[in-house]
Amino acid sequence: MLQRQLESAWAVLIPGGIVAALLYLDLSFSQWRVLIVLGLLATTAMLYHKRLRHFVLLPSCVAFASGLALVMMNLGSMK
């Protein structure tokens, strides 16, 4: 049971690490938007692929975490 929970945690930890690394690149607003769109398109493509369907959380989690980073960047610039 614990192994099953750890397997699902990797689908969140890996994209979170990717987005944390991308935060250090200091991407612009439009570059973040492109990253989110690419993540959503990859998610859609992976849904219809037989083997990649099991890893569909990876690009969708990158898109979600990128969206959160974009919101935090906008809130930080409003101060």
pLDDT of residue 74: 76
Residue type, 76: G
Domain that holds residue 48: 12-77
Total structural domains in the chain?
A: 1
In 10 A of CB 14, how many CB atoms?
15
The model's pTM: 0.68
User: What is the per-residue pLDDT for 4?
Assistant: 54
Question: What pLDDT does 6 receive?
Answer: 52
What's the confidence (pLDDT) of residue 69? 81
In-domain check, residue 27: yes
| Contact call for residues 56 and 43 (beta carbons, < 8 A) | yes
Summarize pLDDT for 16-68 with one digit per residue, the tens.
788 788 878 887 888 888 888 888 888 888 888 888 777 777 778 778 888 88
CA distance 74 to 79: 9
In a domain, 2, yes or no: no
